[in-house]
């Protein structure tokens, strides 16, 4: 199974992707997670990425395409993959197309998680993640168990200002890839409004239905 998850920031891509990769037993390849790990490790790439990410701006295509190309060559990615947060521009989508075509590999679906902009800011500003397990919570909509609440972290780019920049980037740079995949008949639209379990049921429904 080879899948792409597309949607605005805060649409629930990370939360839903974690469930789908368990279900299909495929690796979860999140460019955002890989970049955050590079920032934390203080690598050269991490230092460059940090400046873009704090502002909510996209990194240059060649940087992100290089990371994904390397990741897709690893053994575990041969049985399938869920790409979360990539591609995010038409240039990235075309680069991915070239990589897959070279290996004679086809995508199964592009899941588009749809959530209106006005809900996004509320979702993102209350979002917290568990640095130990990667689990994602929301202070109001999906509260964490009391015993782990103290170790949760708030992403540096989950501020209202950065969210607005990320939403603008989504509409200007990422949304244009939807017609690209629609022309290939791959897009499955899923309503991302609702409890994580309800949305997960819808995602599985479009993939298995």
Q: Tell me the residue number closest to ligand AMP, measured at CB.
A: 32
The kind and range of the H/E element at 123 are helix 117-125
Judged by CB under 6 A, does residue 157 bind ligand AMP?
Answer: yes
Taking the C-alpha atoms of residue 10 and residue 167, their distance in angstroms, rounded to an integer, is 9
Residues 6+ apart with CB under 8 A from 202: 190, 191, 194
Exposure letters 172-196 (e unless 16+ CB within 10 A, then b):
ebbeebeebbeeeebbbebebeeeb
- Pairing mode, if any, of strands 187-191 and 109-114? parallel
Judged by CB under 6 A, does residue 180 bind ligand AMP?
Answer: no
Judged by CB under 6 A, does residue 72 bind ligand AMP?
Answer: no
Q: Which of 3, 29, 53, 109 binds ligand AMP (CB under 6 A)?
A: 53
Residue 22 Cβ vs ligand AMP, minimum distance, rounded to whole Å: 19
Judged by CB under 6 A, does residue 88 bind ligand AMP?
Answer: yes
Residue 11 Cβ vs ligand AMP, minimum distance, rounded to whole Å: 10
Residues labelled catalytic = 13, 88, 127, 155, 166
Judged by CB under 6 A, does residue 112 bind ligand AMP?
Answer: no
Judged by CB under 6 A, does residue 71 bind ligand AMP?
Answer: no
Q: Which of 6, 26, 59, 177 binds ligand AMP (CB under 6 A)?
A: 59
Q: Which one-letter DSSP state was computed for residue 79?
A: G
């Amino acid at each position: 199974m080879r899948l792409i998850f597309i949607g605005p920031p805060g649409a629930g891509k990370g939360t839903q992707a974690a469930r789908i990769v368990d279900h299909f037993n495929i690796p979860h390849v999140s460019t955002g997670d890989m970049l955050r790990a590079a920032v934390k490790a203080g690598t050269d790439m991490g230092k460059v990425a940090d400046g873009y990410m704090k502002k909510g701006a996209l990194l240059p295509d060649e940087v992100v395409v290089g990371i994904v190309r390397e990741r897709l060559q690893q053994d575990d990615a041969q049985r399938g993959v869920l790409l979360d947060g990539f591609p995010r521009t038409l240039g990235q989508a075309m680069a991915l197309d070239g990589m897959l075509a070279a290996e004679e590999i086809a995508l199964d679906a592009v899941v588009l998680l749809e959530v209106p902009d006005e809900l996004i800011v509320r979702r993102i500003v209350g979002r917290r993640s568990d640095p130990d397990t990667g689990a994602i919570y929301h202070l109001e909509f999906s509260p964490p168990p009391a015993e782990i609440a103290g170790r949760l972290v708030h992403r540096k780019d989950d501020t209202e200002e950065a969210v607005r920049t990320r939403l603008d980037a989504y509409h200007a740079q990422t949304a244009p890839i939807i017609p690209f995949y629609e022309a290939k008949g791959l897009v499955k639209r899923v309503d991302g409004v609702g409890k994580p379990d309800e949305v997960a049921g819808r995602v599985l429904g479009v993939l298995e239905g």
